[in-house]
Amino acid sequence: MSNTSDRNKQIKVDVPRRVDGMVGVRATLRNMGIDNSQIGYNEANKTVTLGGREFMKPQYINENEGISYSMPSDIQKSVVKFYSNTNNPVVRVSDAYSRIAGQYGLSADALGYSNGTVTVGGRPLDVLYIDDDGKAWAFQDDVQASVDDYVRSLGVRSPNDLLEEYNSRYLPDIERLMGSIRNRREFSYDPETDPVYQAYRSRYLLDSSRAAQDTMASYAGLTGGYANSAAVTAAALAQQYYMSRLSDMIPQLAQQAYERYSDSYDNDFALLENMIGLYDTAYGNAYAANNRTISNANSAAASNVKRDNAAYERNNSDFERYWDELFNAQDYSWTERQNSQDYNWTEQQNSQDYNWTDVLNGQQSRLNELDIENSINENIMQSIYAGYYDSILKTQLEGERLTNRLTQERINQLLLKNALGM
């Protein structure tokens, strides 16, 4: 099958017709855009083939002219059936558009039909045929490509695509920080690994050494420069005094270390809340802007439809007025006038394609239902998303609070042990 651009270049050929309404199969398929080289005929079983595969059995074969005939509706149904199990089936344009555009919240008004051409957002869509009900049929890939082009021109995105983008942009950092908070080690205090304690220890050791030396010197002065047991004992007591003061600092230093631990947790948790807030704000702004673009596009499409309908009504009114004046000016017999009116009314129907508007109005109702369903699904998705993170944060917060309470209990026990000299 040729692609859309190739089919657009196809030159329409005259289609042989019979008085019973049958048309030439090959010419009909060629006007759908199917390459002539793909169309064949199996003489053995009297069937038309496409690409070497059986396509359909014609209802009449003109052996002299070598033309196979079938009713247009049968050819159309055979085309749909032939491509039904392929990766690119033939689909009803209105249904396919509703399904694809509904993902973006675009209305049915962007799908139009004027001057014999189906359009998406004003851009022509290559179709295979329009059936007796006024419904256009095309390859699924062509409808998808036309909607994609329309969406790109508008700059809109589906809610799911938008959510995935912002999830990938923000969630990894949020989840890493959440993991860091969740896996935070329990608080414990070891003076030997506390730099603050070590600083105090160095200072007290120095002070105790100086105090011992000063004491020894004082006693030596009293004894004529000789050391004695009293001097040694006094120096030892001086050193012990300073070391006792150092030991008394441990509970205070442990409390300070715990406060630093707790402050670090609070800071990380505040950062996590800020990151989630930034994510929610950024996504909310992007989502709102996307919705405004969609709303503007739908309004513009609706305005175009309203304008086209007004023009259609004016054409109908001018047409009817013209014939009223013509009937009044000429004295036709009723039969002649009726035949003329019927004939020209049929001409008007063909030129205006009036039933296409009815078809699109029917599809509008279906798209509105899809829009409502998409809104409901989006709200459910947002609710699940918010509930998911709310649950994680609440669970984490409760777990950390429990850990903090247990840690405080350990601090209290440490203070008690130190107070008891244990």
pLDDT tens-digit series, residues 233-258: 665 666 667 677 777 778 888 888 88
Q: Look at residue 206 and tell me if it is in a domain.
A: yes
pLDDT digits (tens, 9 = 90+) for 271-286: 989 998 888 888 888 8
Mark whether 74 and 165 lie in a shared domain. no
Q: Report the sign of the C-alpha dihedral through residues 408, 411, 412, 413, in that order.
A: positive
What pairs with residue 119 in β-bridges? 112, 124
182's tokens: 């969740």
Q: What is the residue range of 415's domain? A: 159-420
Residue 210 included in any domain: yes
Of 100, 96, 97, which is closest to residue 108 (Cα–Cα)? 97
Half-sphere exposure of 8 (CA within 13 A, CB side): 9
Q: Is the pLDDT of residue 38 over 90?
A: yes
Distance CA 365, CA 28 (A): 33
- Residue ranges in 223-333 assigned as alpha helix (H): 229-329
Contact 48, 26 (CB under 8 A): yes
CA dihedral 181, 185, 191, 193 (to 10 degrees): -90
Query: Are 165 and 38 members of one domain?
Result: no
In a domain, 104, yes or no: no
Residues 223 and 362 grouped into a single domain: yes
Q: Given this model, what pLDDT does residue 103 score?
A: 83
- Residues 6 or more apart in contact with residue 323 via CB below 8 angstroms: 341, 344
What is the average per-residue pLDDT within 32-36?
92
Q: Could you say which of 82, 103, 125 is where a domain stops?
A: 82
- The answer to whether residue 324 is domain-embedded is yes
pTM score > 0.75 for this model?
no
Residue 266 domain-assigned (yes or no): yes
> How far are the Cα atoms of 3, 166, 197, 224, 231 from residue 144, in angstroms, in the given order?
13, 25, 70, 109, 100
> Which H helix or E strand runs over 112?
strand 111-114
Counting the structural domains of the chain, the total is 2
Question: d(Cα 187, Cα 257) in Å, to the nearest integer?
Answer: 9
Is residue 346 domain-resident? yes
Task: Pick the last residue of a domain from 63, 82, 101.
Answer: 82
Is residue 41 pLDDT above 60, yes or no?
yes
Which residues neighbour 300 within 8 Å (Cβ) at sequence distance 6 or greater?
none
Say how far apart CA 219 and CA 214 lie, in whole Å: 9
Domain-embedded: residue 90: no
Residues 56 and 185 in one domain: no
* 93 vs 184: CA distance, rounded Å: 57
Least confident segment among 27-36, 167-176, 185-194, 368-377: 368-377
% pLDDT > 70, the chain: 60
Is 412 within a domain? Answer: yes
236: left (phi over 0), alpha (psi -120 to 50) or beta: alpha
From 92, 94, 107, 140, select the one nearest 370 (Cα to Cα): 107
Q: Does 300 lie in the same domain as 215?
A: yes
Which residue type is seen at 52?
G
**For residue 244, what pLDDT is reported?**
72
Between residues 166 and 226, which one has the greater pLDDT? 166
Residues 275 and 415 in one domain: yes
Average pLDDT over residues 67-75: 96
Of all residues in the chain, the percent with pLDDT exceeding 90 is: 22
| pLDDT (0 to 100) of residue 339 | 60
Determine the Cα–Cα distance for residues 135 and 274; give it in Å rounded to an integer.
Answer: 53
Together in a domain, 173 and 33: no
Q: Are residues 63 and 174 in the same domain?
A: no
Q: What is the mean pLDDT of the chain?
A: 75
Unique residue bearing structure tokens 């012990």 = 240
CA–chain centroid gap for 52, Å, is 42
Q: What is the pLDDT of residue 86?
A: 93
359 burial level (CB within 10 Å; 0-12, 13-18, 19+): buried
Last residue of a domain, one of 61, 82, 103: 82
Burial class (CB in 10 A: 0-12, 13-18, 19+), 20: exposed
CA gap 383, 2 in Å, rounded? 46
Rounded Cα gap, residues 68 and 230, in angstroms: 132
**Look-up of token digits 């199969």:** 25
What pLDDT sits at residue 363? 55
